[in-house]
Structure 1
């Protein structure tokens, strides 16, 4: 599962993104990867959190998504490349 959120604040000139990625590791754990930073510029942060079950990882990803939406971010449809 991958969710991309973007925020455009024209008054303050801030254009930011946040990507949430939920995947399973080789060892069977679930990883929630959060990547965020300014759009079109260098910099940003990447955080990973590991969970033992898919349900807890999904709940953590949804909680982070809801928190970002409250801060003014908007979900953007992610277009996956062809394999």
Structure 2
């Protein structure tokens, strides 16, 4: 399940609300394709306990992977800039 959708569903569950497509969409922190959103809500309705158990570690792992990817891109750009500066001197 998409981490953004899972986070929205968990947020609703924490407030004691039953996740629906509309409520979950309103809680999204980033854009998600409608089929992904519907699949997430359907997964919750099919197995509420299973989705509730997924919890934060999955989201933290996804966030850590995104952060590492961003750091890799920044490092590559920094290497390019340093190479340009060293050629100029």
Q: TM-score, normalised by structure 2?
A: 0.29
Q: TM-score, normalised by structure 1?
A: 0.31
Greater strand share, structure number: 1
Greater helix share, structure number: 2
